[in-house]
């Protein structure tokens, strides 16, 4: 109770204020382009039976990510139910608190409940999220040639280049750790300031060492990659069915491409509950990039946002109850950021 009573740091307050103002700006910007009469008409006539498939896929996707994290940490024999609930709790907190609270929660839980090293748990959670990022880049680099879009002519080359760079890093971190460390050491020579150089080497080598969880045999690696592809496809099916439910005729490839492009936008600072940012990002991707009618895309984005919030509230509150985890520990870490 004591730690909960302490005031948050000025830095945290500024983050929340900034993200809230960003949300207000994005809502105003988004509202400027949307016909709300059309949007509400679409929502009123939505096929709720089709849209309800979202909740099934939400559970499937979250469970898949929990199983992936358990597989990564196989040698620690962590309870499957707890890891799945921890995954939902992380998603719940990341959605409503714009300071990467989900990642901090996972690390704090694994450290406090199973006595795992704090530094390593942070790295493992980073690698777990990096797998999603790599899958997103893969599908973008592939689908950008197959799905009609309005991206510039240089974008396919940039997408392929980014995927190649991160894929090489992934392969080197798993199969050629010593070589990668030498490359990072060489790269650090171009950093002028000693403090930045030291921080870069410390962070990068720590991440590379953390990839030991993927050096447990080819079987583990295949399962982890397979699960990553599976959950990405599950996420994309959510978009596909929600958009179909409001009468937007998109095929699965477009839903997959749109999901991956939208996922990239979440790398930038988000607003509390993704209010404004979710609508702006999804509408921008599906309307401006993929050519969907802007009002239809907005209806799909709003319904997707509402259903995500409901699902995360149910899953997150259930996880808090079932895990019996003191969130004061997490608050202390966030407050100190």
Band (336; pLDDT cuts 50, 70, 90): low
Query: Quick one: the chain helix, strand, coil %, rounded to 5?
Result: 80, 0, 20
CB 279 within 8 A of CB 302: yes
The answer on pLDDT for 99 being more than 90 is no
Select from 236, 269, 256, 243 the least CA-distant residue to 26: 269
What pTM value is reported for the model? 0.89
How many other C-beta atoms are found inside a 10 Å radius of the C-beta of residue 333? 17
Q: What is the pLDDT of residues 226-251, one digit of tens each?
A: 999 999 999 999 999 999 999 998 99
CB 330 within 8 A of CB 104: yes
Band (332; pLDDT cuts 50, 70, 90): low
Length of the chain: 337
Average pLDDT, the chain: 89
The answer on pLDDT for 118 being more than 90 is no
Residue boundaries of the structural domains of the chain: 52-335
Alpha carbon distance, N-terminus to C-terminus of the chain: 19
């Amino acid at each position: 109770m004591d730690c909960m009573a302490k005031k948050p740091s000025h830095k945290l307050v500024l983050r929340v204020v900034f993200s809230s103002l960003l949300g207000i700006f994005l809502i105003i910007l988004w509202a400027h382009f949307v016909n709300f009469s059309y949007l509400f008409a679409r929502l009123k006539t939505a096929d709720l039976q089709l849209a309800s498939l979202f909740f099934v896929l939400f559970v499937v996707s979250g469970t898949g990510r929990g199983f992936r994290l358990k597989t990564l940490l196989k040698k620690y024999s962590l309870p499957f139910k707890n890891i799945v609930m921890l995954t939902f709790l992380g998603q719940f907190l990341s959605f409503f608190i714009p300071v990467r609270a989900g990642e901090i929660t996972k690390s704090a839980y694994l450290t406090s409940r199973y006595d795992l090293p704090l530094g390593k748990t942070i790295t493992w959670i980073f690698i777990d999220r990096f797998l999603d990022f790599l899958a997103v880049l893969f599908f973008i680099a592939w689908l950008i040639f197959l799905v009609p879009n309005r991206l510039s002519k240089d974008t396919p080359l940039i997408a392929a280049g980014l995927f190649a760079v991160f894929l090489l890093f992934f392969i080197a971190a798993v199969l050629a750790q010593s070589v990668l460390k030498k490359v990072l050491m060489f790269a650090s020579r171009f950093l002028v300031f000693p403090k930045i150089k030291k921080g870069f080497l410390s962070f990068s080598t720590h991440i590379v060492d953390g990839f030991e969880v993927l050096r447990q045999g080819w079987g583990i690696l295949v399962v982890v990659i397979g699960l990553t592809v599976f959950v990405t496809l599950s996420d994309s099916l959510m978009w596909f069915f929600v958009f179909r439910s409001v009468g937007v005729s998109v095929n699965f490839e477009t839903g997959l491409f749109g999901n991956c492009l939208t996922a990239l936008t979440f790398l930038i600072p988000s607003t509390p509950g993704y209010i404004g940012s979710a609508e702006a990002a999804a509408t921008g991707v599906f309307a401006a990039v993929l050519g969907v009618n802007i009002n239809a895309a907005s209806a799909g984005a709003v319904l997707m946002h509402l259903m995500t919030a409901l699902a995360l509230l149910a899953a997150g509150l259930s996880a808090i109850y079932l895990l019996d985890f003191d969130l004061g520990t997490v608050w202390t870490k966030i407050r100190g950021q």
